[in-house]
Amino acid sequence: MVKTCVICGKKHNCREYTCSDECHELFKQKLVKEFGEYKIVVDAVTGKEHQVPLVDIFEKGLKQEDLKNYPVVDVKK
């Protein structure tokens, strides 16, 4: 399946969103600029809120059991 790079518009058959390492890095930078460096993710089991780098979510994905590897934050609602 031919895909289009979200950064440069080039058609490609490799990555999900970008065509090269350079475009991949630019895409990560755009995501952080638009959505922030960290996301607060609530552990469904404990109810604790963890501060997770957006790049980790994008690069590795995030599973519930991974949350223990990130700091717990106290977010006032």
Distance in angstroms (rounded) separating the CA atoms of residues 64 and 49: 12
Distance in angstroms (rounded) separating the CA atoms of residues 75 and 55: 21
How does residue 36 score in pLDDT terms, banded at 50, 70 and 90?
very high
How does residue 77 score in pLDDT terms, banded at 50, 70 and 90?
low
Distance in angstroms (rounded) separating the CA atoms of residues 40 and 57: 11
Q: pTM for the whole thing?
A: 0.78
Q: Quick one: pLDDT at residue 73? A: 95
Percent of the chain scored above 70 by pLDDT? Answer: 95
Q: Is 9 exposed, middle or buried (0-12, 13-18, 19+ CB in 10 A)?
A: exposed
Q: Quick one: pLDDT at residue 1? A: 80
